Each structure stands twice: as structure tokens, then as C-alpha cells.
């Protein structure tokens, strides 16, 4: 009887895992609580010392980061599918491949700190607190969306997250302004202003650098260098591709943006630097995006498929974290697979909601023009069309 039972169990378990993993399953049921990992040293500019080269990752944090990155990945892939089914129209810029940046940044700051970024914002929207449902419903333009369906991909906001900006590089001066507010209020908060390698050549970024350095604003300028500005590789766009040095008089550091722990440590470092009142700092995250610039770009006309596949194979952020956790026994493969399944289901449900939610009603067309204003009437396309505007 016992033999039969054991045989049954082992057969079932092998059916589960498709490999003679029963012993593995049993052996790794003792999880370690935390593990120490080495991080690549960051290149520094005008800094004496950089972030630490080792960090401790707890099991709980590891699972949390894994889940968040996997959610961002699946959400972006689901947005891709929905776009291809014409549920999402207009612009859609996806950030799969850059999950470590959003998750790592969030891990390094407090929820009371501020973040502002460009249009490749879905990942940061999620990490800053929006649910997958509200993000996908906003993309499909339904009333369950975070901006009530009126904004779309580039206009998603949540507390302490300022979007979502369509104009390239517009968020640089805005980020400096938010940092000015933090300094003015004296609440020891920092502002992360993200921009891309293409926007780094914009004039207003230089202006923002100047003002932030002059007034010692607690602003972290983060350049997400994904090696292509739309379709132009960085070598063809910038005279200097060391974006962390482009602050000139502002110190900077370059971080491997595919390693979530590296990003976390670097973010903690720069946030501390700013909080201590030393002024702004520039951080370059070297990362990669698998999709094209936006949904209208196949992504393989200016780079080869092999290059993308290479990056996926060698330095996929989710894969890196997974390997680390499994090798140091922080989690098992099956556990992480479970998380995958749960995340998939969550994203599927959110997509179903996003496809079936009704659109905002026509009466709300002119609402929310101002905030905290009594109701008034707005003129429509001609003087005989009037809409009511509520706040």
C-alpha cells in the first residue's frame, strides 16, 4: 500500500513537472530567507563613491519584484494583443524588456516620492499604484480607466505620478519643478524625472539640468537608454553616448538597467544623495525594449531579430531575477510558475474587463476641465452646441 501510494505520488508529481523533479521539489521546500547578490559596479561621474556592489534580497521582496515584473510584462503583451485586435487605437508605446527599470525604481524610493516620465509609461503606472484593470481599461478608452477613458495611453496619472507626457522631453522641466516644490515644502521628498536617449538631446533637458543644479533641487534625472531613439541608434543620434555624463556639472552614474537589484540599489543611492540636499544627480539606466518604438513600428527594420532574441536570451530582467532566486533557493521554479499563472489570470481578467466595460457617456464630454469649480457651460464645435462641465 505504501509503495503504491508513493508510486502514485511520484507519478503525479512527474506529471506535474514533466521531469523527475520530485526530489528537487522536496529538497527545496526549505527556502532560504534571504541571499546576498553581487551587483555590477556602476560607472561614476563626478562622484567619489557609488552604490554598493552587493545587496541582500529577501524572499518576500524577491517574490514581490518577480510578480511585479511579470505583471508588467504580461500587461504589455496583452496591450499588444488588444491593439492588434483594434480594441486599443491610437498610440501605444510598450515597455516590455524595461520592467527592471520601473520595478527597481519603485523599490528604491518611497511612495511619497514623485515620479514623472515620458509616454512609455505603462510599467511605471503599474508600479506607482494603478491596477492592471484601470490601465487596460484606460487604453481601451472605457469608463473604468484611470483617466475615465478620456486620456488613453499617454495620459495616465495617479497620486505622486505625473504621467505620461506626449511631447518628447517635456517632463524634464516639469520634473525639476516638482523637485522645486519638494524643496520649497521641505518634506525631504525627491522627484524622479525620466527621459529617453532620444530626449536627452533636447534643449529643455539642459535647461532643467541648469536650474536644478543652480538651486540644488532634489531632482534625479534618469535617462532610460534603450539604445534606440525611435528607429535611430544612439551612435547616430548623440555626439556623446555617455548619457550619465551629459549633466556636465551634475554628477552621474551609469547602471545596468536589466538587473532589478542593481537599479534598486542605485535608486536608493541617488535618492539619499538628493535627500541630503546635495542637489540633482543624473542616472543612466542601460536597458532594452523588445517591441518597436510604438505599435506601428515592427521593431526589426532598424535592428535584427537576432539582436532582440539575443537580449531576450542573455539579459531578460525577469529571467535574471528568476535564475538568481532559484539558484540561491529563495524560491522554486514551480512557485514562480504559479505566480506566472496567477499573473496571467489577473491580466486576462483585466483585459476582459477592459473589453467589456462601457465607454464614458457623451454627457461627460466636457467634465473635468477645471478642478473644484462649480458647474458651468462649455461651447462645443459651434456656438449652438453646449456641454455641461462639472469638476
Partner 1 sequence: MAASWRLGCDPRVLRYLLGSGGCRRLGLVRGASGWSFGRGASWRWLHSTQWLRVDPIKILMPSLSPTMEEGNIVKWLKKEGEAVSAGDALCEIETDKAVVTLDASDDGILAKIVVEEGSKNIRLGALIGLLVEEGEDWKHVEIPKDVGPPSPASKPSVPCPSPEPQISTPVKKEHIPGKLQFRLSPAARNILEKHSLDASQGTATGPRGIFTKEDALKLVQLKETGKITESRPTPAPLATPAVPLPPQAMATPPYTRPMIPPVSTPGQPNVVGTFTEIPASNIRRVIAKRLTESKSTVPHAYATTDCDLGAVLKARQSLVRDDIKVSVNDFIIKAAAVTLKQMPDVNVSWDGEGPKQLPFIDISVAVATDKGLITPIIKDAAAKGIREIADSVKALSKKARDGKLLPEEYQGGSFSISNLGMFGIDEFTAVINPPQACILAVGRFRPVLKLTRDEEGNAQLQRHQLITVTMSSDSRVVDDELATSFTTIGTSTGLKLGADLNTQSQKGLCWCLLPGIPRKQTTWYDSTLPTL
Residues that bind partner 1 (CB under 8 A): 2-6, 8-13, 15-18, 22-23, 25-26, 29, 77, 80-81, 83-87, 89, 141-143, 290, 296, 298, 305, 308-309, 312, 338, 341, 352, 355-359, 361-362
Query: Considering the complex, what minimum distance in angstroms separates the CB of residue 320 from partner 1?
Result: 15
> Nearer Cβ to partner 1, position 82 or 191?
82
CB of 351 to partner 1, least distance (A): 9
Q: Shortest approach of partner 1 to residue 262 CB, angstroms?
A: 23
Q: How far apart are CA 5 and CA 1, in angstroms?
A: 6
CB of 197 to partner 1, least distance (A): 21
Give 264's contacts (C-beta < 8 A, 6+ positions apart). Answer: 55, 104, 107, 108
User: Is the CB of 18 or the CB of 383 nearer to partner 1?
Assistant: 18
Smallest CA-to-CA distance from 189 within 244, 246, 249, 109 is with 109
93-117 b/e (C-beta count within 10 Å ≥ 16 → b):
bbbbbbbbbbbbbbbbbeeebbbbb
- List the grid coordinates of 199: 530626449
The least CB distance from residue 141 to partner 1, in Å, is 7
User: Whose Cβ is closer to partner 1: residue 28's or residue 160's?
Assistant: 28
Phi, psi for residue 35 in degrees, rounded to 5: -145, 155
From CA 224, how far away is CA 210, in angstroms rounded? Answer: 20
Round to whole Å and give the CA distance between 321 and 347.
21
* Cβ distance to partner 1 smaller for residue 265 or 357: 357
Closest distance between partner 1 and the C-beta of residue 319, in Å? Answer: 10
- When the beta carbons of 60 and 359 are compared against partner 1, the nearer one is 359
- Select from 249, 169, 168, 189 the least CA-distant residue to 214: 249
Grid-cell match 554628477, residue found: 251
Min CB(78)–partner 1 separation in Å:
9
Between 81 and 240, CB nearer to partner 1: 81
Output 1 or 36, the one with its CB closest to partner 1. Answer: 1
Given the complex with partner 1, which of 96 and 265 has the nearer CB atom? 96
What's the rounded Cα separation, in Å, for the pair 384 and 370?
22
The whole-angstrom separation of Cα 335 and Cα 340 is 9
User: Which C-beta is closer to partner 1: that of 207 or that of 342?
Assistant: 342
Q: How far apart are CA 388 and CA 144, in angstroms?
A: 21
The secondary structure element, H or E, covering residue 321 is: helix 317-327
> Is residue 164 within 8 Å of residue 119, measured between CB atoms?
yes
Q: Residue 164 has which C-alpha cell?
A: 505620461
Q: Can you tell me the distance from the alpha carbon of 130 to that of 121, in angstroms, rounded to the nearest whole number?
A: 11
Amino acid at each position: 500500500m505504501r509503495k503504491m501510494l508513493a508510486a502514485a505520488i511520484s507519478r503525479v508529481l512527474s506529471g506535474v513537472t514533466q521531469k523527475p523533479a520530485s526530489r528537487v521539489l522536496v529538497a527545496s521546500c526549505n527556502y532560504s530567507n534571504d541571499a546576498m547578490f553581487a551587483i555590477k559596479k556602476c560607472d561614476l561621474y563626478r562622484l567619489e563613491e557609488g552604490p554598493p556592489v552587493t545587496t541582500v534580497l529577501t524572499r518576500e521582496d524577491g517574490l514581490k519584484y518577480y510578480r511585479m515584473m511579470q505583471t508588467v510584462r504580461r500587461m504589455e503583451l496583452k496591450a499588444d494583443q488588444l491593439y492588434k485586435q483594434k480594441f486599443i487605437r491610437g498610440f501605444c508605446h510598450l515597455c516590455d524588456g524595461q520592467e527592471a527599470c520601473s520595478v527597481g525604481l519603485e523599490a528604491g524610493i518611497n511612495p511619497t516620492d514623485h515620479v514623472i516620465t515620458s509616454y512609455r509609461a505603462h510599467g511605471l503606472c503599474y508600479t506607482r499604484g494603478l491596477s492592471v484593470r484601470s490601465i487596460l481599461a484606460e487604453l481601451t478608452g472605457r469608463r473604468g480607466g484611470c483617466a475615465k477613458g478620456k486620456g488613453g495611453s499617454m495620459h495616465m496619472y495617479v497620486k505622486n505620478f505625473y504621467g505620461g507626457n506626449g511631447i518628447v522631453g517635456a517632463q524634464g522641466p516639469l520634473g525639476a519643478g516638482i523637485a522645486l516644490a519638494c524643496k520649497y515644502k521641505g518634506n525631504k521628498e525627491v522627484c524622479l524625472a525620466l527621459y529617453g536617449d532620444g530626449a536627452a538631446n533636447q534643449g529643455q533637458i539642459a535647461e532643467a539640468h541648469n536650474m536644478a543644479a543652480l538651486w540644488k533641487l532634489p531632482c534625479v534625472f534618469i535617462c532610460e537608454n534603450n539604445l534606440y531613439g525611435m528607429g535611430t541608434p544612439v551612435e547616430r543620434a548623440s555626439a556623446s553616448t555617455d548619457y550619465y555624463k551629459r549633466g556636465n556639472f551634475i554628477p552621474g552614474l551609469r547602471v545596468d538597467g536589466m538587473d532589478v537589484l542593481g537599479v534598486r540599489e542605485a535608486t536608493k543611492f541617488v535618492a539619499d544623495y538628493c535627500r541630503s540636499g546635495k542637489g540633482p544627480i543624473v542616472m543612466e539606466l542601460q536597458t532594452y525594449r523588445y517591441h518597436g518604438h510604438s505599435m506601428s513600428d515592427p521593431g526589426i527594420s532598424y535592428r535584427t531579430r537576432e539582436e532582440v532574441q539575443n537580449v531576450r536570451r542573455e539579459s531578460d530582467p525577469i529571467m535574471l531575477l528568476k535564475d538568481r532566486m532559484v539558484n540561491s533557493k529563495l524560491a522554486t521554479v514551480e512557485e514562480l510558475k504559479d505566480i506566472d499563472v496567477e499573473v496571467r489570470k489577473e491580466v486576462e481578467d483585466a483585459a476582459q474587463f477592459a473589453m467589456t466595460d462601457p465607454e464614458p457617456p457623451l454627457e461627460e464630454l466636457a467634465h473635468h476641465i477645471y478642478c473644484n469649480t462649480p458647474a458651468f457651460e462649455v461651447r462645443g464645435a459651434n456656438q449652438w452646441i453646449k456641454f455641461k462641465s462639472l469638476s
